[in-house]
Amino acid sequence: MATCPRCKGHLTESHVCPRRPLIVATEITAATVAGALVGLLLVSLFDQHGQGTDGEYAIAIGVGALIGFGIHRMMRG
């Protein structure tokens, strides 16, 4: 599928570019932060005794951020 040269979104028949690139950046950042928070929340729910290491929390935040970003891109397209 073709992409729009201006906003890099999927170029469909009903495609309309957002007014400003700042709005797109804000949406992507919000989705990534929300995913990271959900990942952190899930780890803290399953690790109730606090035995998780910093690495486990970092992995959960990173994976959550990637999933949040991926879901945002799928829903936008």
pLDDT for residue 65: 93
> DSSP letters of 28-74?
HHHHHHHHHHHHHHHHHHH-TT----HHHHHHHHHHHHHHHHHHHHH
How far apart CA 19 and CA 50 sit, in angstroms, is 45
pTM (2 d.p.): 0.67
pLDDT for residue 77: 62
How far apart CA 27 and CA 22 sit, in angstroms, is 9
Q: Where are the domains of the chain?
A: 21-76
Q: What is the pLDDT of residues 10-59, one digit of tens each?
A: 888 888 887 787 888 898 899 999 999 999 888 888 887 878 888 888 99
